[in-house]
Amino acid sequence: MTNQTKNNTQTEKNELNTESLTINEHLKNQLNRNIEEWMYSGLYGLDFNFYSGLNLWTEIKESDYWYMLECMPPLKFDGSNFLVCEPLTYKTHACLIKVNDRFFGKYMNIEEYNINSYSEYIKEVKLQYNI
């Protein structure tokens, strides 16, 4: 077996199958993940969480937060929280926020995003991450 074949086999074993995870298992994986690992790092983790069907707040790297803020003008912006201009789907955009020097994101429908709900988003993050 070549090294490449071994690496591919190991990668397949390490991939998460979100369909087989319970909500509690998914939350445990979410809270204990290493945001420096490829699959969960930054925006990959945000996408993975969205496609899992649970769409919880996902911790991202500070560099990803700034990249998304600076690459294109935000659709909506209020100092620390913003809605990314480029949609994931027709009306689904990433909402990124800063909470206690940590950065989080969540995909949401443009109609459900409310720039005045920043304090509610912070409460959701603090409750989800016990901070």
Termini Cα distance of the chain: 46
Length of the chain equals: 131
pLDDT of residue 66: 92
Range of the domain at 119: 3-129
Q: Would you list the DSSP string of 15-64?
A: S--GGG--HHHHHHHHHH--TTSGGGSHHHHHHHHHHTT----EEE-HHH
pLDDT of residue 126: 92
Kindly state the DSSP code that residue 114 receives in the 8-state scheme.
-
pTM: 0.69
pLDDT of residue 10: 43
Decide if 97 contacts 118 (C-beta within 8 A): yes
Instruction: For residue 29, give both structure tokens.
Output: 């994986």
CA torsion angle for 87, 111, 22, 127 (degrees, to 10)?
110
pLDDT of residue 96: 93
Burial zone of 59 (CB within 10 Å; 0-12 exposed, 13-18 middle, 19+ buried): buried
pLDDT of the chain, 131 residues: tens digit per residue: 554 544 444 444 344 444 455 555 655 665 666 655 544 555 677 887 788 777 788 888 898 899 999 988 998 888 888 999 888 888 899 999 999 999 999 999 888 888 788 889 999 999 988 88
The whole-angstrom separation of Cα 55 and Cα 46 is 8
Total tally of structural domains belonging to the chain: 1
The whole-angstrom separation of Cα 2 and Cα 8 is 10
pLDDT of residue 30: 59
